Amino acid sequence: MKFLDTLKALPVSRQLMLAAAVAGMIAAMSFLVQGATRDPMTLLYSGLEPAHAGDIIKELEQSGTPYEIKGEAIFVPQGKRDAIRFTLAQQGLPRPSVQGYELLDEVNGFSVTSEMYNAAYWRAKEGELTRTILAIPGVSSARVHIGANLRSGFSRSQPNQTASVTLTTARDMTAGQAEAIQYMVALAVAGLRAEDVAVIDPVKGILAGPKANRTEEPAVAAATQASLLEQKILSLLEPRVGVGNARVSATVDVSRQRQVTSAVTFDPNSRVIRNRTTNDSTGASAGAGGGMTVASNLPQGGEGGGGNTSTNKNSTETVSYEINETRTEVETLPGEVQRITIAVLLNEQALGIDPAAADVATLTQQMAADFEQLIASAAGIDTARGDTISIELMPFQAVPVDDLIEVPGMVEQLMERYFWSGLQALLLGLVVIVLGVGVVRPMLVQKSKDALSPEDLGAGAGAEGAGRAVASGADVESDPFAYLKDYATDRQEETAALLQQWLTEDQQSGQTDQIATAFDNRKVAVNE
């Protein structure tokens, strides 16, 4: 009741200011409580096509579910995420961006021709393959095209099936992954060979298939081998020279050409008769002999003449030999190591060599030779191949401390993460305190201060009025002595008059007590 009386005694302007301050304090407290008890937002779906994302947003608006859109992601309250997903799944959302065999469900009726069914079938096949490729980690988008051949039943020649896969990846795809996609598409389409499937990246070019560019793969393999070689050498040197006292640089040159070499070798000492053929032929010939004489002209002169007969014999032998034959075919693939070059820089100060020693040069050379032998054994250096090692011992320069960047500690990380949110809560808390202490409380206390007026504490008020005034001031003020001190400082004349009145009353009360005491003593004497 006293609070209501004090509130009613305030002017209208102060009542309005008090109402505004209380309303601001309530709003600030409500904002703080709402921020502390608010359910955090979590990811619902991301990476959806605009049409499918619009369907989900429409459903969320109809159900009255709060949501936030950040880029291509949709966020909902964390406590309702699972229930929202089940509700959307019941309605078939989000719809798949790629349609597969469900396309064949719409192909029905007597009006569908064979060409229409074939087109729908190949669209469904491409959609199913696209879904499978999109399930591969790292693939952002994919599209499959199958070169379907409309073969005629009267055609004898059947052209080869072809296909292409266009995809976009978030990270580099290896040759093995590209070949896996080739075989996956080839096995899904009858009559399609894996080498006839082209895997294409719009940024990196042809990853696999006809005219695939594999020139970058040996370079990547060489860089990987060089990095592993540097780590291996550092792991051997750091236990001796200490961490940070060795620098290793390795270069691996690899072949980027593919070469096939064929060779045939014959062994003449290993000949064996495979076939032998002998041909013998004999021939005889007879002819007249001698010269022309008188006797040969006589009627019987011919009988006395002489003749000669010849016989010919021919022998032919054909021998075929079998000789051992060795055929060798060598295929050199890209990536063969052609040369290794290693450069090592060691901190001379960490080796423990005294610069003032007489044989410092000998010790340095001996230590460099020991390190070279150790590195050559670890890296597999082949001098016949042209591999080289270079080792230098030099003092390292100290890194200035000012240039070093310290790792942020836990406190700094917490400040970086929660500084602004904590500062916001602190400012709101300060606003509430200022509104409560600086505005509301002084307005309520002002009337009590005004109640302690000079008329109440004047000379005519008496001790009882002054006591009530002081008591009322004590009820309002938490420290009445401080209030009386300030009052005495501001109103010195009135305070002096009040004290004079209090002293007069004390003297009168003292005389009254003495008279009463004397009267009592006299009464007692009379009774005796």
Q: Pick the range with the lowest mean pLDDT from 56-65, 119-128, 264-273, 437-446.
A: 437-446
Q: Alpha helix (H) ranges present in 205-266?
A: 216-241
What is the mean pLDDT of the segment spanning 343-362?
81
- CATH code of 41-91, in short, is 3.30.70
Segment 463-472 long-range contacts (CB within 8 Å, at least 24 positions apart) = 463/501, 463/502, 463/505, 466/498, 466/502, 472/448
Residue 207 pLDDT more than 60? yes
pTM score: 0.39
Cα–Cα distance between 347 and 394 in angstroms, integer? 5
pLDDT averaged over the chain?
75
Q: What is the maximal distance between C-alpha atoms in the chain?
A: 244
pLDDT at 182: 92
- CATH code of 222-257+334-394, in short, is 3.30.300.30
- Residue 400 tokens read as 């200035």
pLDDT at 462: 45
Residue 458 pLDDT more than 50? no
pLDDT single digits (tens) 374-395: 898 888 888 888 899 998 888 8
pLDDT single digits (tens) 69-120: 888 889 888 888 888 888 888 887 776 667 777 677 777 767 777 778 788 8
Assign 37 a pLDDT band (cuts: 50, 70, 90). Answer: low
Share of the chain above pLDDT 90, in %: 3
Assign 519 a pLDDT band (cuts: 50, 70, 90). Answer: very low
pLDDT single digits (tens) 225-246: 888 888 999 988 888 888 888 8
CATH topology of domain 101-149+160-210: GMP Synthetase; Chain A, domain 3 (3.30.300)
Please list, in sequence order, all residues whose beta carbon lies within 8 angstroms of the beta carbon of residue 196, skipping any fewer than 6 positions away: 160, 161, 162, 163, 186, 209, 210
Assign 453 a pLDDT band (cuts: 50, 70, 90). Answer: very low
Share of the chain above pLDDT 70, in %: 70
Cα–Cα distance between 206 and 201 in angstroms, integer? 6
pLDDT at 183: 92
* Half-sphere exposure in the Cβ direction for 402 (13 Å, CA): 0
pLDDT at 215: 52
What is the domain partition of the chain in residue ranges? 1-37, 41-91, 101-149+160-210, 222-257+334-394, 259-278+314-332
Phi/psi at 374 (nearest 5 deg)? -65, -45
Residue 460 pLDDT more than 50? no
Residue 349 pLDDT more than 70? yes
Most confident of 4-13, 83-92, 228-237, 271-280: 228-237
What is the mean pLDDT of the segment spanning 318-339?
81
Residue 185 pLDDT more than 70? yes
The answer to whether the 101-149+160-210 and 222-257+334-394 domains have the same CATH topology is yes
pLDDT single digits (tens) 473-491: 444 445 666 777 777 777 7
